[in-house]
Every structure is written in C-alpha cells, then in structure tokens.
Amino acid sequence: MNNPHHLNPTSLKSRFTTRFLRALTKIRAQKPISSSSPTEIFRRYRRIKVAADKSMAYSVRSRRIWSRAMLWKLRSRSYRRQDPCSGRRSGKTNQAIMKKSSNENTTTRREDGVGFVEEADELRQLVPGGETMNLCNLLDETAHYIKCLTTQLFSPIGKG
C-alpha cells in the first residue's frame, strides 16, 4: 500500500518524525529504562516532551509565530540550564526580557472590537507566543498549531 502522503520526505510529518526519533534515541541512550523510579520516569517524560516540542518547532522553523516563540523559549531555557553561572546574566536578561514582554502583553488588554477578549486571552495562553498577536493572527496561528499538534499525535512513532 503506497501512501504518498507520508512518503514525502519534506512533509511536516516526516520532518517531525525523523527529528523526534533522533531525539528519542538520544534520550533512550542516555538512560536506559532500568530504574523504575517515578522520578526517573518523570525526568524522562519531561525530556521527551521537550524533545517533541523541539522537533515540532524545528520542523516548522521560523515560518510561524508560534514556532519562533517556542524555539525562543526552548533556547532561553536551555541557556539558563546549561550555564547557570555565566548564563545567569544572560538568563536574567532573558528572563527580564520575557517578563517584560509578557507584562507588557498581558497589561495591554487587546480590545479588538469583536468582543472575544476573554476567549482570545485564553487562546493566547495556550498557543505559544500568542500574547503578541492580534486576534486575526492568533486565529491563523491557532489553526497551524492545531495542525501541527495533530501531526505530532498521529506520527508513526510510539505516539500514534
């Protein structure tokens, strides 16, 4: 049975799958599931989740606002984690920037004149990078984000 859709090497699904597989193998290689402690499992879970987000964001590159925001978040997080000493400065600046931007965004209540402010705010919190978008772009990004999430869930890796 030939399914040309996912045989397309450049499709979002294939890109995500390859990346995620690579990340998963790396994670598995680091710590084989020998120990069954919940903490270990939880840590692995976190890593896998980050890997999934990262793979998806990298598959989309910078074409989307949400992917850019997600990548930025991941990078800032990794910088902070990797270099706590010297990275403290950068981490602080990053945090400061993030906080400042988030504060600015949260304080600016976007009245788009269409009356969906509460729902729109909720959606902004769900979609990465949504705080900076107006309703129009937010809906666009939401559509693409939903599409990517479903791709993730239905990828042939153990997820689906």
Partner 1 sequence: MENQFFVNAGIQSPAPPLHFGSSMPMSDWQSLSSAMEIQSQDCFPTPNWEKPTDYGLQFESALSSMVSSRAASNCNVSSESLIIRELIGKLGSIGNGGEIPPHSQPLLASYINGNNSSNTSCYSTPLNSPPKLNLPMVDSLVKEKLPPKGLNSSVADFSADPGFAERAAKFSCFGSRSFNGRTTQFGPKDNTEFAAFRSNPLAANAKLPRVSSSPSIKAMVSQGTTTNKNTPLQDRSELANSQEESIVSEQNPNGEPGLKASNSRKRKAVPKAKTKETSSSPSANASKVTEPNEASNEKRCKLSDSNGHENGSAKAEEDAKGDKANNTKALEPPKDYIHVRARRGQATDSHSLAERVRREKISERMKLLQNLVPGCKKVTGKALMLDEIINYVQSLQRQVEFLSMKLASVNTRLDFNVESLMSKDIFQRNNTLQQPIFAINSSASTFFGHQPQQNPALHSNMSNGTMTQCSVDPLDTAICPKLNTHLPQINQFVETVPPQYPTFCEGDLETIVHMGFGQNQSQDMALHSQNFQGSNQVSHMKVEL
Residue type, 107: T
The CA distance from 132 to 122, in Å, is: 13
150 binds partner 1 (CB under 8 A): yes
Site residues (CB under 8 A) for partner 1, limited to 26-45: 28, 32-33, 35-38, 40-42, 44-45
Give the distance, in angstroms, between the CA of residue 57 and the centroid of all CA atoms in the same chain: 6
Helix or strand holding residue 82 (H, E): helix 65-82
**160: three-class secondary structure by DSSP:** coil
Q: CA–CA separation, 12 vs 151, rounded Å?
A: 8
Q: Which stretch binds partner 1 (CB under 8 A): 14-22, 69-77, 86-94, 95-103?
A: 14-22
If one asks whether residue 92 binds partner 1 (CB under 8 A), the answer comes out as no
Which pair of tokens denotes residue 68?
């850019």
Q: Is 107 in the site for partner 1 (CB under 8 A)?
A: no
Q: Which residues bind partner 1 (CB under 8 A)?
A: 1, 3, 5-7, 13-14, 17-18, 21, 24-25, 28, 32-33, 35-38, 40-42, 44-45, 47-49, 52, 112-116, 119-120, 122-123, 126-127, 135-136, 139-140, 142-143, 145-147, 149-150, 152-154, 156-160
